[in-house]
Every structure is written in structure tokens, then in C-alpha cells.
Amino acid sequence: MTDISGITGYYTNGTNSTNSSSQQLSADMNTFLTLLTTQLKYQDPMDPMDTAEFTNQLVQYSAVEQSIQTNEKLDTLLSLNIANLGAQAVSYIGKTAQVLGDVMPLENGKAKATYTLDKDVLSATITIKDMNGNIVYTESVDKTAGTHEFTWDGKDKDGNQLEDGAYQISVSTTVASGESSAQVTTTVFGRVTGVASDANNVYVGLGDAVTAQLGDIVTIRNDDYFDKVDGGDNSGEGDGEGSGGETPDGGEEGETPSTETKSYFG
């Protein structure tokens, strides 16, 4: 499983606002106390602070103190909730998870994903890249609206078996001239191999190379589900375009290329 510390910087970016807010409230309270004591120290004995105003300032001080205590209790509840989710997620180990995202694990020469088109398009092509950004495989796939499954046997365009690991999947489409580009959503499958958490999130490991947030899990399948994947049964079959690394034609007149893919992993 990928070391969780290597990716938490991406997922938790901006999620430490609670701690920052508590620190800011504490600073505000200290500033308030300093101003209040200074005010009391230097007030004119012949013209002391108005009682109503002094009471109002004390009420403000009490409100700031309560806000700090509330934030601390919320932090405690959040930590308990994350710990509870992590304990529940342990039951997923060994099962196959379907996760919103575009990085899929290749395990024992098998990988599985889905893509969803929001409308019919003129052509659709799946591109698979390794984590260095190198294109290792492309294939023309079903271009009708809806959700389609895609399986990959881990072989590159030359038929060489690639090493197990993480690979990024993207779907590019072309639409008729004048039409808006198609929206594409991808999910990936992987066997859950571990669970980890930090102060803000719970994560599951997919295979030995991919980590996903618990909240991105769409479905959990039986542990033998992934074993049923047939690497040669790709979704491009039956759409009249064939499979096995074909790329779309050169583009008919009036076609507009579109490569917009909705990615949930940045």
C-alpha cells in the first residue's frame, strides 16, 4: 500500500482550518485581555469606565472563550468519527472496491475501470499512462451515452506485459461541430489491501500502488469479483470500431475534438 504520508499533503490541503481558527481565537482572547487590563490600569479614577460598557466587554470575552471550547470539542468529535470510520473500513480489506477516480491499480496483469458519458459522441478513446506520464495503451471504445466497463490485461500497444502498479486512465471524445464537449466520469476497481487515516481523513489502499479516500468508494464487491475480470473483454467490443489499440479516425469534416474528463483525483 502506498505510504499515506506521501499524499496527505494533497488531500488535506486547506483542511487544517479548524486548528487555525482555534489559534486565532486564542490570540484574539489574549489581545482582548491585554487591552482590558491596560484600560483598567490607566483609567481615570475620577471618571471610571462606564459600568454598562465594562459589562459588555466581559460578555465579549466570555463569548470568545466559549468559541474556543466549542472548537476543541468539535475537534474531539471529528477525531472520534474518523477513528470509527477507520475501524469500519477494516472490514473492506480483501474485497474489491469501486472508487471515483482516474488512477487504477494493475494487479496480476488485470485492471478494471468504468467511464460514463453524459451523451452520445462521435468517437471515444481511452488512453492509459504510467505514473511518469508515458502513454502505454490506447483503445477506441463505446461512444454511446451511459456507463461502460473497460478491462485491461496490462499489455502495452506492442503486446508487452507491463509491471503491476498504478496507471492513469483518461477518456477523450469528439463531438459534432457546435456541440458542447461531453462530460466524462471515471471509476476504477481495486482489491482493498489496507486502511490508513490521519487527522482529517480515512484512506484505503487499492492493490500495492493506489490510495483513495474512503468517501470516494462507490461500491464494495465480493472478494472474488476481481478474479472474474477477463482482460480480453473490453468495452469497445460490438461498437463497430473494434478493439486492441485502435485509435479514432483522422476526424471527419465538422468534428470538434474534446478531451474534457471529469477527474476526482486532481
- For 18, 87, 100, 199, 231, the CA distances from 15, given in Å and listed in that order, are 8, 22, 20, 10, 39
Residue at which a domain ends, from 72, 92, 112: 92
Q: Is the pLDDT of residue 105 over 70?
A: yes
Phi and psi at 96, nearest 5°, equal -100, 125
Residue 115 lies in a domain: yes
Q: What is the pLDDT of residue 12?
A: 32
Q: Which residue has the cell 496480476?
A: 108
207 neighbors 213 (Cβ within 8 angstroms)? no
User: Pick from 66, 73, 68, 61: which is nearest to 34 by CA?
Assistant: 61
- Domain presence at residue 54: yes
Q: Per the domain annotation, does 263 fall within a domain?
A: no
At 266, is the pLDDT very low, low, confident or very high (cuts 50, 70, 90)? very low
51 and 123 in a common domain: no
Residues 121 and 244 grouped into a single domain: yes
pLDDT digits (tens, 9 = 90+) for 225-251: 666 654 444 444 444 444 444 444 444
Strands 146-152 and 202-206: unpaired
123 domain-assigned: yes
Q: What is the pLDDT of residues 89-103, one digit of tens each?
A: 788 888 999 999 999
DSSP notation for 184-246: EEEEEEEEEEEEEE-SS-EEEEETTTEEEEGGGEEEEE-TTTGGG--TT--TTTTSSS--SS-
Q: Is residue 265 part of a domain?
A: no
Task: Look at residue 266 and tell me if it is in a domain.
Answer: no
Where does a domain end: 64, 92, 120? 92
Between 236 and 68, residue with greater pLDDT: 68
Q: Which residue type sits at 83?
A: A
Say how many domains are in the chain.
Answer: 2
Residue range 153-166: mean pLDDT, rounded: 94
Residue 221 lies in a domain: yes
Task: Say which residue, 6 or 33, is predicted with more confidence.
Answer: 33
Element (H, E) at 60: helix 51-89
For residues 150 and 50, which has the higher predicted lDDT (pLDDT)?
150
Q: Using one digit for the tens of pLDDT, what is the confidence trace for 69-85? A: 777 777 777 666 666 76
Q: Are residues 124 and 69 in the same domain?
A: no
Query: Alpha carbon of 145 to those of 30, 121, 152, 186, 244: distances in Å?
Result: 60, 8, 21, 13, 22
Q: What is the DSSP letter of 225?
A: T
The larger pLDDT score, comparing residue 162 to residue 265, is at 162
Indicate if 105 and 194 belong to the same structural domain: yes
Specify the CATH number for the domain of residue 148: 2.60.40.4070
Expressed as residue numbers, the domain containing 24 is 4-92
109 and 44 housed in the same domain: no
Q: Are residues 185 and 112 in the same domain?
A: yes
Q: Do both 101 and 83 map to the same domain?
A: no
pLDDT above 70 covers a percentage of the chain that reads 59
Average the pLDDT over 21-44 and give the result: 66
- Binned at pLDDT 50, 70 and 90, residue 63 comes out as confident
pTM, whole model, 2 decimals? 0.60
Q: Please give the grid coordinates belonging to residue 183.
A: 462530460
* Terminal Cα distance for the chain, rounded: 20
Instruction: Clarify whether residues 240 and 125 are in a common domain.
Output: yes
Question: How many CB atoms sit inside 10 A of residue 147's CB?
Answer: 12
Looking at the fold, whether 104 and 73 belong to one and the same domain comes out as: no
- Assigned C-alpha cell, 15: 483542511
Overall average pLDDT of the 27-56 stretch: 67
Question: Which residue is associated with the grid cell 496507471?
Answer: 167
Please identify, among 92, 113, 145, the residue that sits at the C-terminal boundary of a domain: 92
57 assigned to some structural domain: yes
Beta bridge partners of 110: 107
> 127 and 251: one domain?
yes
Claim to verify: residue 109 and residue 81 sit in the same structural domain: no
My answer on whether 113 and 86 are in the same domain is no
